[in-house]
Amino acid sequence: MEVEFLTPMLGKYRREPYEIKKLHINAQGLRFLNFLQYYTIKIKDDNIEVTVPEPSVFVLHKFIISQRRKKRAKAERDIDAARILGEFLLDINSQKEKMENIFKDIPKKWQKKVLKGVKGNSEKLYDFLV
């Protein structure tokens, strides 16, 4: 098992990880990570509870970060995951409503990034979001 520590990257870009001295760890800063932290759900299985991003937020986030990827293969995997899950969620009324509300709630700049990522990759999602 590999554990990777992540933290939101705010402000100026920095390549090196953030050192968290009290825990003796380094955490990699990532843009838009705070978006995933704002909208979460709890999943419980065998008495283990895990907090994960809302599925709709995961989809929107993947469309944003796919455009920032330097490696085309990773960007394509992000787009595929977002498209498949996003189109599936549109068939579930409660998830469709969540996606709409979350999309409307994010900053206009982020909305434009999402739409740029969706356009040409999912007509169904694009038509829903515009």
**Residue-wise pLDDT tens for the chain (130 aa)?**
888 888 888 778 777 888 889 989 999 878 888 889 999 999 999 999 999 999 999 999 999 999 888 899 999 999 999 999 999 999 999 999 999 999 999 999 999 999 999 999 999 999 999 9
Give which of 102, 8, 9, 114 is closest to 55, Cα–Cα. Answer: 102
pTM for this structure?
Answer: 0.83
Phi and psi, residue 106, nearest 5°: -80, 160
Which residues lie below 8 Å from residue 38, measured CB to CB, with a gap of 6+?
Answer: 57
Extended strands (E) in the chain: 6-8, 18-20, 25-30, 40-45, 48-53
Instruction: Name the token pair of 75.
Output: 């960007």
The whole-number pLDDT of residue 9 equals: 80
∠ CA 113-118-122, rounded to 5°: 175
